[in-house]
Structure 1
Amino acid sequence: MEHHYSTLLHIPSSLSLPKAICLDAVGTLFGVRDSVGTIYSEVASKHGVECSAELLNKYFYTAFSNSTPCIFPGVPTADVPEQEYQWWREINRQTFTAVGAWEEFDDFELFFQEVYRYFATTGAWTIYPDTIPALENWQRSGVQLAVVSNFDSRLHNVLKVLGLEHYFSTVTISTEVSAAKPQAAIFAAALDKHACAPQSAWHIGDSLEEDYLGASNAGLTAIWLNRS
């Protein structure tokens, strides 16, 4: 693999900087504090349900990986947040059903509302140590920076509360353009905002399939950030 690095700061200066750099969000700029399972377990405990964080994490990723993409073609923009909410609610339902705990909740809806709101706050996330130095270096060099993510509209607030929002000229989210990585359409939508040809852009992300292969197939210089 030509472009494969373990941190953003390891990308060599010998690579000529492009007009625009697109970056994935979760797993690239910031990650989940502890684990999804840990957070689910902590919030569930507040609602009287005790579950193994390890098992919750395992079954969350099973449900997440088996889900359809978080995109809603044809849905009016005003209705997208509700569709996002229901998409994540179903993943939560599958996760807690898999560990045999779903029926233990007195009010699963109340629990899920709390979890859903929590993942829009700083408490759920941690910024990787290399993120801000890399963004500042690129910003000083005059490169246009963009986020391209399969997250949902909560990402706008997450970037804001983490203090990352001001580094980016644009944010392109799958639910807002009805296309998800690795589809070429989401990269095209992001680059259109910068009047930038694919050949003049990088995309950096932690997913081999969604980020590296998706961006490469869309004509961008793809960089796989393998933090593991």
Structure 2
Amino acid sequence: MLSRPLRHPLWMPAPMHPLDSPQLITLDAVGTLFGLQESVGTVYGRFAAEVGVQVDPAALDVAFFKAFRAAPPCAFPELEASQRPEAEWRWWQGVAVETFRRTGVLDQFADFEAFFAPVFAYYATAEPWCLYEDVLPALQDWQAQNIPLMVVSNFDSRLYGVLEALGLAPFFQAVWISSEVGAAKPDRLIFERAVASYGASQVWHIGDSWEEDVRGAQGAGLQAIWLRRDRPLLPEPAINESVAVPQIADLTEVQVILRGTA
């Protein structure tokens, strides 16, 4: 499980002004509330071996991130609600197909859909995910302060079950996912929909992605807080050092910021 000791928040090298107290806090899901027990490449490789396809997990990791970044947003604004589960499945299957194509073994699968079905189902359970140690203390603190909480994520409808399985669902008033909203972070629409549903004017958004969470939240007029967990597979983003953004190493550090707004 990834965690870091509590310490004072880190700040971008630019002047910071005191933050207004939040009327609502929205949070990213994967990489913020919970992470992977094993890399995607390790899981894909294990499931592939069960159907007789041998492939290096490290190569799958590299291929997956390239395929994931090259895919269009997991958002389906033109579809009816009944059509979204199939669209989500097809979207993720497309990423998986491209992952194995990039590693040169796609043609070794006799039936790729049959292979992918249990992989997709696996990520709808609690088993592949680890709840970060700082999450429950932070959520409990915010709940005790009567700060409403929502999730804003580029995940799909499997997220509802994962939040339930990890014991997180009771903390959130609403969950906003890209496949249902029809827009994916950093598109401002997904943030605006979440905020409009509650009617708050002072909103903090916390997430681990510079582009999706920080830049996306800023574009929607929210106060962004950048959660910088140790995620070695992800490259450092090209950031604008002149943009003042609070940085934290874990969610409990938000309490330091909150005390500063009291």
TM-score scaled by structure 1? 0.92
Q: Is the 8 A contact 1:37 1:53 kept in 2?
A: yes
Larger Rg: 2
**Cross-structure match for 1:48:** 52
- Give me the identity figure in percent: 47
Q: Is the 8 A contact 2:77 2:180 kept in 1?
A: no
Instruction: Give, as a single letter, the amino acid of the residue that structure 1 aligns with 2:192.
Output: A
**Cross-structure match for 1:225:** 227
Q: Could you give the per-residue CA deviations for residues 113-142 of structure 1, whole angstroms, max 9, x where no partner exists?
A: 010000001111111111111111111110
* 2:227 pairs with 1:186: no
**Cross-structure match for 2:175:** 171
- 2: CA distance between counterparts of 1:15 and 1:124? 36
RMSD of the alignment, in Å?
Answer: 1.7
How many residues align structurally?
220
- 1: CA distance between counterparts of 2:160 and 2:118? 18
* 2:210 pairs with 1:211: no
Instruction: Give, as a single letter, the amino acid of the residue that structure 2 aligns with 1:80.
Output: R
Instruction: Give, as a single letter, the amino acid of the residue that structure 2 aligns with 1:66.
Output: A
Instruction: Give, as a single letter, the amino acid of the residue that structure 1 aligns with 2:208.
Output: D
Q: Could you give the per-residue CA deviations for residues 65-124 of structure 1, whole angstroms, max 9, x where no partner exists?
A: 011111112111110110111011011001011111111112211110010000001111
Q: Which runs of 5+ in 1 are unaligned?
A: 1-5
**Cross-structure match for 1:3:** none
Q: Which runs of 5+ in 2 are unaligned?
A: 10-17, 231-262
Q: Could you give the per-residue CA deviations for residues 150-174 of structure 1, whole angstroms, max 9, x where no partner exists?
A: 0111101110111111111100001
Deviation at 1:193, TM superposition (A): 2.0
**Cross-structure match for 2:40:** 36
SS of residue in 2 equivalent to 1:193: helix
Instruction: Give, as a single letter, the amino acid of the residue that structure 1 aligns with 2:112.
Output: F
Deviation at 1:57, TM superposition (A): 0.7
Q: Name segments (4+ residues, structure 1) moved above 3 Å.
A: 6-12, 14-17
Indicate how the Cα distance of structure 1 residues 39 and 167 shifts in structure 2: closer, same or farther if over 3 A, else same: same
SS of residue in 2 equivalent to 1:57: helix
TM-score scaled by structure 2? 0.80
